[in-house]
Chain A
């Protein structure tokens, strides 16, 4: 028997709307395998998103799902977790949703170390709206709004998450399919804010403007730029030029927000 993905997908929802070769589907399969590995019950799991192609993902999932406002996934997810701390809360969204309009919610959810797993699909672009540049579009690259090349430096999402206080931060790519579910599963098991950045491909609005002539070229690029953290420690700065580190980048045990808040409630009762 092949893997049964459809057991986790709402009936009649396939084929999905994503373009041919869009990595969001590969990430969705990884998320499904991770939910399975961790044995999460559908009724006790909420998958929350904002707006964007990536944010369409929860709509396919046969779980409790919440498709909210652009950039606000972390805020809604915080509400779910605060009202039902026993629930497993997963956030899925894009680089634009999470680091542009939603950057503020993203960093503060990290700072609070609230127990959720945030899977951020970084395809370097605003895919859904036709390819405007995002805070993750590489410097010099082209977007519909940077036709002469993007002058901005990028946000490194994983570094941003670590700096903001997330206690589990990991990165992989859509090419490294089996690593997606391993890292998401580790993130789910971690108590606190877990960020899993998946470097992804948007052939339609990013690839074609940036000389990746096919989906396969984009996948090969993801394969080539990824360097596992262990291997990177033995490489020179020159060898690491243009590469991105993959694997678990940061892990720390720190007090979790809903537990801290429960103590506040106890103290208030005694006052």
Chain B
């Protein structure tokens, strides 16, 4: 499967709440020492759930 979106993380804004990790339906994201990282880019279905629920404006979903 190929990624349907490119995920951009603005590390300076991320407060490591892990909301995006928990509610991503395809487990694209992972926590890495209190900042989120893209661990499984290919699985992204571009559903936008992570961006919608990030309270910190720290994650952007760029549809491909």
Contacts and interface: CB of A to CB of B under 8 A. Distances in A.
A24 B55 contact: yes
A214 B18 CA distance: 9
B26 to A, nearest CB: 17
B62 A21 contact: no
Interface string B18-60: 1100110000000000000000000000000001111111101
Interface footprint category on B: 20 to 34
A3 B50 CA distance: 12
Contact of A23 (B16, B52, B55): B55
Interface in B1-27: 8, 12-13, 15-19, 22-23
Given A2-B8, A15-B15, A29-B52, A216 B22 contact: yes
Interface in A163-179: 174-175, 177-178
Given A2-B60, A219-B23, A26 B55 contact: yes
Contacts of B12: 15
Nearest to B22: A216
Interface string A199-241: 0000000000000001110010000000000000000000000
Interface SS of chain A: loop
Contact of B13 (A3, A14, A177, A215): A14
Contacts of B18: 21, 214-216
Interface residues of A, number: 27
Contacts of A216: 18-19, 22
Interface in A1-25: 1-3, 5-6, 9, 14-16, 18-25
B57 A20 contact: no
A175 B61 contact: no
Contacts of A5: 57
A26 B23 CA distance: 14
Given A2-B8, A3-B51, A215 B17 contact: yes
Contacts of B23: 219
B56 A215 contact: no
B51 A2 contact: yes
A21 B16 CA distance: 8
B55 A25 contact: yes
A25 B53 CA distance: 9
Interface of A: 1-3, 5-6, 9, 14-16, 18-26, 29, 174-175, 177-178, 214-216, 219
